[in-house]
Structure 1
């Protein structure tokens, strides 16, 4: 036994084990809670922590939180809740390291959303759903969204980030232009005599949204291609709030965060729902998920009040995309939260046109959407019919199967979308 002060050697294997355990402990602690008040029974949530995936010779974990706000029935929301995650994961190649896995998530989310929509429409149901889908891997948060539910994040420093887009036709000029260019019509409800009332809607169908999953009776220019934003947090963490429009129609991000400051996630979610319902009554399903992302070694501290704006010192939080309705809002830009990815295009050719090395992680002769294996020459390049098609070589992918190529063309207004099954109501 060594005397006090005598130097002791530590075997290399022990050091490596300690380092490995230390690295694992750097991941955050995820605490979550949810609350809801139901009017129509069409809001659904998915809360999954400690999801596992293979990584080299080990297993890594990640968390998933989803909010599905259905309309015209609950069928699309339930189906999406049950199938979207598997469809996203099936679009990710096996045995990637952490950085690679995070890098391919945006493309896999696009593929998973489109496949879920395509599969659900084959069931000939007319309901639809908004989706806000959050994947947390370590300190990286990736959010994919269609519709008008929203996800916001407040860092431990008190800065607010908008991680989703609002696809309401009323407030999104770019989406209105895309729909009319694809063959749809945008206008208000006509009550006769030239009077028009209510928000802007897409006709036929009368949907107020430009993107959703389902809604086969509206037209395929209502697309399931999600807006995706990915950020890396500081190790101080922060709080996510994911809520349906029943909350955001009443509360601003600042009010939602302030009304639950210092509360644990369960109580915070309940307080946000309570505030929304008290303000205007229970007019819609009102659902909220609160997720605290915290350092493991520290107890959950009360979040600080938002920083006071310094006149002349405000900058845009991220590069603003016109697909987001929050482009008019500005907040301080700290160094502690890093933007990794942001894209909102509705065009699959743009969303799948990833550069090296990401594109080389995907199998050459597999459909980029539904993962169907194809023989060489069977697949259709995602760039077919675009300005890049003249430069293509036979091996230039990604590729789509015939069925997914038809889906892509319909969403882009390149073929009539009315040839569908007779639909049943939910």
Structure 2
């Protein structure tokens, strides 16, 4: 059988599994439609029992590795990269080999599984994404790609919903665009602002890989509980803070912001340094997920110590001092009579929201000048309710998206 025939057989097998889900009821149809329009979460890769016993389960190991390696090397961009995810959905052995072959975004420069959204981006060239804002529903959708396509084949990475409260604003971040419940398996974090919209806190639903957690006595008692409500999400861990300078008199030019990345040590941008890189979502999701309609919209019972609603500060690994990012200072253009930044063609519309972030370090940290000048995250407007977001190492897509969402909140005291 040819290589193309094998891949075609895999697609037919995956479509057959989807058809079975559609026959299960409206809830199953909803689950199936999500997996076709989004990156399929690792949790959905848990194989069904009859698939494990299929004709592909006992394929010789060397041949299996060769097939998946060829697929991984040939399918470089979405939506074609869904074939790689399909390989991991065949059975347990295929999943194990696929996860072994597929590298992190930092290593291969590709986004594959949902956990890639919480892993640092590539070091050399940034991932280029765009954000679509919907004013009516107060939602923000992050897509992978240069600009929106006409045939709606853009890959949705993350979605956020803006919720106004009496004391501030929350942005709930999810893997899907139609479920923003904190008790859902798709909830991965949130952004919260103060009343003035000058300070923001980014919360992650899981502790960063290898990070040391600081617990107080109250939260420790809750963290060690063995009985957790099935509707309680994984948790809220403080991974970064954002502060905008006050500019009430409007005499300091554009917005000025400073981002403290508690979960990323300064050593990450030094020579030979590395940023925390999670390899999977909490085990409870991976072990107990079920695509049945009864599981839709519900959390799962867990005995994990970190499954709690407590908001826990996180220390960066290897250093008590987290990486600090600041916005790159724009220059005043005399002829145009405006502030300008070089976005290299990625931003085309003037907006107070436009910014570029670089590392803010002092000479004692031994960071090269080139690394200090490197733009780690840039965000800007290209059309009505369309914004570009380009990020690179050591930020992840989740972290970059949260930082950009802070620009959408109203800031009367900053501009």
Return the TM-score normalized by structure 1: 0.23
Return the TM-score normalized by structure 2: 0.23
**More RCO (CA 8 Å, sep 6+):** 1
